[in-house]
Amino acid sequence: MSDMHLVRGQLEKESIRKGFGRGLLEAGNRWDNVVAACADLTESTQMHLFAEAFPERFVQVGVAEQNLVTVGAGLAAMNKIPFVSSYAAFSPGRNWEQIRTTICLNDRPVKVVGSHAGVSVGPDGATHQMLEDLALMRALPNMVVIAPCDSREAMRATLAMATDKRPNYMRLSRSDTPVITTELTPFEIGKAYIYRPGRDVSIITTGTMTYQALAAAVTLAHDGIHAEVVHVPTIKPLDSVTILESVGRTRHVITAEEAQINGGLGGAVAELLGEHLPTPMLRIGMKDRFGESGKPEELLKHFGLTHTHIALAAHHILMDHTNHKH
């Protein structure tokens, strides 16, 4: 994509969850053992495409998220690959222990899909803006944690999850998000990708913030700062090789995610660098607080989750570090 398109917001936009809906339908077509269950949010989570195509492979559990994931564990026990979805605030928000015991400790390949994550859920307010899911899921042994950056990557992630033998969690968002990947963009579970090379600072991002990071890199380039954007669609297991290689070159790090700064991608990167490559770092994310009602764009601005904030952070970290050196 061109830099102009990025900053002017002229890219095609689509909700990330739509890619999941198409991916699940395609997974259903490809593999007979793919099944799905939903907790009364079939259309919101885009599972309706699968449910309409394969009614005999779809389970409607009602508003019961603890049941949702444990029914999923039972389906997986009988060699099904179950995708179970609701809003992220409820699943994995409400049913964490069931996910821990019956999916992770039990090692069942259940695919937990949490839609409507982040403050960009908008007017529904803090109760529905899930910000702790990455931390909750990342803490669990055996769990793979995925946050695609656009609808196209969500579709590819869904297909990859359908053949992955491990428990998986994927977070989706509600608002329209610029489509920044192409049919040729690689995706593999467990891999991070350099979406834009640079030598001065690594902006390590996931989910909806990857677009913001790319836009920030464009404006930073005007100021003579060459930012490297490392997209991390798999937060666990973390692609430490790609991250350490990038940070080894740039020696400055910004992380960006539409989630709590504690325990999510920023936490994961800080843990990695703290042990292997201590590096000046700033984390962009929700700063240990809850969201509130508003329009998605308003909220992202209000809580400091835009390309402007990322660019500012990059300036700060480079300035601080330069001053320190001299």
Partner 1 sequence: MSMTQKPMSVASMEKKANEIRVDIIKMLEHAGSGHSAGPLGLADVFTALYFKILKHNPANPDWDQRDILLLSNGHCVPVRYATMAHAGYFPKKELMTLRQLGSRLQGHPERLRLPGMETTSGPLGSGLSQAAGMALALRMDKAQHRWVYVVMGDGELDEGNVWEAAMLAGKYKLNNIIGIVDRNNIQIEGPTEKVMPLENLRDKWESFGWHVLEIDGNDIEAVIDATSMAKAIVEKPVVIIAHTVPGKGVDFMEYDFHWHGSPPNHEQAVKALKELRTLGGKIRSEHE
Between CA 53 and CA 73 the distance in angstroms is 23
Nearer to partner 1, 60 or 163 (CB): 60
Between CA 20 and CA 115 the distance in angstroms is 10
Q: Strands (DSSP E) along 20-155, which ranges? A: 34-38, 58-60, 81-87, 111-115, 144-146
Position 64 contacts partner 1 (CB under 8 A): yes
Position 34 contacts partner 1 (CB under 8 A): no
CB of 162 to partner 1, least distance (A): 16
For strands 253-260 and 168-171, give the pairing.
unpaired
Nearer to partner 1, 56 or 288 (CB): 56
Contacts of 274 (CB under 8 A, 6+ apart): none
Between CA 231 and CA 275 the distance in angstroms is 21
Position 139 contacts partner 1 (CB under 8 A): no
Catalytic residue among 12, 43, 56, 65: 65
What separation in angstroms does the CA of 36 have from each of 26, 76, 157, 220? 13, 11, 16, 44
CB of 80 to partner 1, least distance (A): 5
Position 53 contacts partner 1 (CB under 8 A): no
Residue 65 annotated as catalytic: yes
**Token digits of residue 20:** 């999941």
CB of 106 to partner 1, least distance (A): 4
Position 196 contacts partner 1 (CB under 8 A): no
Position 98 contacts partner 1 (CB under 8 A): yes
Among 2, 101, 127, 322, binds partner 1 (CB under 8 A): 101
Query: How many binding residues for partner 1 (CB under 8 A)?
Result: 28
- Measured at the CA of 167, the angle between CA 38 and CA 175, to 5 degrees, comes to 50
Is residue 244 classed as helix, strand or coil in its secondary structure?
helix
Residue the block writes with tokens 């989910």: 207
Position 109 contacts partner 1 (CB under 8 A): no
Position 111 contacts partner 1 (CB under 8 A): no
CB of 100 to partner 1, least distance (A): 8
Position 40 contacts partner 1 (CB under 8 A): no
Enter the DSSP assignment of 56: G
Of 163, 169, 324, 156, give the one whose Cα is nearest residue 259: 169
Position 55 contacts partner 1 (CB under 8 A): no
Among 42, 45, 66, 246, binds partner 1 (CB under 8 A): 66
Residues at the contact surface with partner 1, assessed by CB under 8 A: 35, 56-57, 59, 61-62, 64, 66-67, 70-80, 82, 97-98, 101-102, 105-107
- Catalytically annotated residues: 65
